Chain A
């Protein structure tokens, strides 16, 4: 699989960029500022999760069905950090420095913790099956998914859990119409929370690109994904490289879990299924194995669902998403940014 190397051919065509800019402009004109920011935020969250599906597939050709649940565990760990050690309740933090500190205190440990969880899952559930028939690790992944769901269900119970809304918002009962963090563009209010999530996600995604393209470990990942045996012959530590891939994938899912809880306000043990399904769809839509494709796929799916909601057809949003997926796969079976299948032979 050569997916991870795709973006090396930069500058090969200006067309995708032009299409993207045009699509964003049309969406913005239709949706207006706040709704556009909603779509971008949702897309950023889907993209963070989709990256994990695509990275793992890119390197060991495994559809990691447990990935949605890794994201869910990340959301619960961040809920725990917010409510137990930090002791926060459902009240906004109005001091910018304190708010930033809180978000950093939550995000970094959750990402590290989830990364370790990802490595542990790879070590014990997938590595022993690396040379087994394809079906075996796939079933193991489903097993891991159930194990994670059940652990969380036992620890937290099956009911939805509210996540403290620490980000300042208009107070329901009183005071200012607009809080100090939000601002207005073209008559539409931009919530600082949306902006923060989008920026964090873009930073992480750019960081991932730099890591994959510019570092030794990144090069090891690309070579492993292209030809594992050849990479091993050239001195690449395959086990370490795959472990690093799982670490990054799970850490990004953890970051997704943190922002999901803060943005949507409620987490439940079976959350990973639906969100994971959409993120997986995003990865396939973008061309599974391709990191840029996964990110773009996440935004495409988010815009489809939000546009459906804006048009009043929210019940049809899933139909629309999967119709687009089918259409893309019919005309371009390897996804929007995928490699033609011939190259894999």
Chain B
């Protein structure tokens, strides 16, 4: 929180000093040298350059936002320590989009406006939630600021023609990329897992009415039916819902073999799990959820799935839309633990990779002789999204396709183990699966089934 206040204050100072244009147009390079002077002298070790983060950081979102931002902080610390950018000091402008303890799209929009108006921010990691991204992408697109989301999965964010409505200012310039696999992979992967791995052939689907929840619920439902399964009922309940018991009771007579919670725990899925377990027929059956449920938070992480659901979290499964088994996991985990005295979250390494992509963009721009912030911001955006460019990161070599999606999507599967943490429960990794780029053939409706899974390093 202190970090955020300071950086917001910093924006004010810089804006006042430089009278810089809050840009809807392409940033004007001429003004940037004026902007850099006061902050550059303040930073000490060279000119300051910033990576923004826009994540839900407080309340019930702690399990989501904090470990993700920590990934970015770790990348910045290590890049500074290794002097990756001689003459420059990397810094963070961290923003929090949680309002009343849950992510809020309107707050995200305000935060993104703050970030694009900080001339020193040349790239941004986030947001976490797809509904927030819908508001933020147009703002970043207008300002030409690269957003790299480690966690957004809603398909419409990148897939044409839907994605075009988010970049009306600069339709030809991709300014939003993501390393998370889209829900056209996450939903079906969850469906196949429930049908094949868990052997449950009938399912009750409950979504949280949000962009992400409805989208992943739809793609789960379509694949589950295609697998031959039965969807006994599909319900929607907004995050203001207090009584989930009656929803589960209403479907109890149809005896579903599993439940899919299409949404996030801060928008009610943790509570749905807890109350659902009290209804006859749902006490022991598997519950499955997307990454909004598989937050990998422990029992003491406020607002995490296991924290909310308690003993009801037994026999719960979840997908995370990214790689788990990263090339040098031991080093990353050790570094992360040393820095934050906690285990990495589901998206820590992926957020670290996003920051690495931005840092490499800065490096290339600086090497090419670009020294003004606006020029670097545009160079980072252009080089990240340019065809054929790839980046070495902690999660391996990554690159982005024409829509801004990762060309190497992964899906990781987790389950709860209630014997962990003194029988209070925890998440354990089950397996991961690689998919081919859904857009490799320009097709907007990928089919990851059949021969598509390229490699599986499952446990």
Contacts and interface: CB of A to CB of B under 8 A. Distances in A.
Interface string B84-121: 00000000000000101100000000000000000000
A157 interface: yes
Interface stretch (A2-10, A140-148, A306-314, A328-336): A306-314
B271 A266 contact: yes
Interface string A57-72: 0000000000000000
A305 to B, nearest CB: 7
Interface in A177-197: 189, 191
- B241, B246, B253: most-surrounded residue (chain A CB, <10 A): B246
Nearest to B234: A312
Contacts, number: 126
Contacts of A265: 271, 274-275, 308, 310
Contact of B278 (A91, A191, A271): A191
Given A265-B274, A266-B271, A159 B101 contact: yes
A128 B145 CA distance: 55
Contacts of A315: 209, 236-238
Contact of B277 (A89, A172, A189, A191): A172
A165 B284 CA distance: 16
B337 interface: no
Nearest to A178: B280
A165 B310 contact: yes
B243 A42 contact: yes
A264 interface: yes
B18 interface: no
B397 interface: no
B246 A42 contact: yes
A172 B283 contact: yes
Given A165-B311, A173-B418, A274 B100 contact: no
B246 A39 contact: yes
Q: How large is the interface on A (under 10, 10 to 19, 20 to 34, 35 or more residues)?
A: 35 or more
Given A38-B249, A159-B101, A314 B307 contact: no
A305 B243 CA distance: 9
Given A38-B246, A314-B235, A314-B236, A91 B59 contact: no
Nearest to B279: A34
A38 B277 contact: no
B37 interface: no
Contacts of A311: 250
Contacts of A38: 243, 245-246, 249
B58 interface: yes
Contacts of B135: none
Given A157-B302, A173-B418, A162 B250 contact: no
A222 to B, nearest CB: 34
Nearest to B251: A312
Contacts of A274: 240, 242
A157 B102 CA distance: 12
Contacts of A171: 283, 311
A20 to B, nearest CB: 21
A44 B215 CA distance: 36
Interface string A21-62: 000000000001011001100100000000000000000000
Contacts of B101: 157-160, 268-270
B246 A306 contact: yes
B386 interface: no
B280 A189 contact: yes
B284 A172 contact: yes
Interface residues of B, number: 47
B383 interface: no
B282 to A, nearest CB: 9
Contacts of A170: 280, 283-284
A164 B310 contact: yes
B203 to A, nearest CB: 15
A266 B268 CA distance: 10
A89 B100 CA distance: 26
A89 B307 CA distance: 11
A312 B249 CA distance: 11
B311 A314 contact: no
Interface string A280-320: 00000000000000000000000001100111101100000
Interface in B226-276: 233, 235-238, 240-243, 245-247, 249-250, 252-253, 270-271, 274-275
A228 interface: no
B252 A34 contact: yes
Contacts of A314: 235-237, 241, 246-247
Contacts of B241: 314
A35 B271 contact: no
Contact of B233 (A91, A158, A172, A312): A312
A129 to B, nearest CB: 29
Contacts of B61: 159
Interface string B372-391: 00000000000000000000
A274 B284 CA distance: 31
A159 B280 contact: no
A44 to B, nearest CB: 12
A311 B249 CA distance: 11
A5 B392 CA distance: 78
B242 A162 contact: no
B355 interface: no
Contacts of A266: 270-271, 274, 308
Contact of A158 (B60, B246, B308): B60
Contacts of A90: 310-311, 424
A171 B418 CA distance: 12
Given A162-B307, A162-B308, A315-B209, A275 B242 contact: yes
B411 interface: no
A172 B311 CA distance: 7
A34 B249 contact: yes
Contacts of B307: 162
Given A38-B249, A270-B100, A162 B243 contact: no
Nearest to B249: A35
B76 interface: no
B315 interface: yes
A200 B277 CA distance: 24
Contacts of A165: 274, 310-312
19 contacts: A42-B243, A89-B424, A160-B60, A160-B101, A162-B309, A169-B278, A171-B311, A172-B311, A172-B312, A173-B284, A173-B311, A264-B271, A264-B275, A268-B101, A269-B100, A309-B246, A309-B247, A314-B235, A314-B237
Interface of A: 32, 34-35, 38-39, 42, 89-91, 157-162, 164-165, 169-173, 189, 191, 264-266, 268-271, 274-275, 305-306, 309-312, 314-315
* Closest 5 pairs between A and B when the two form their complex, measured CB to CB: A90-B310, A158-B59, A159-B303, A158-B101, A309-B246
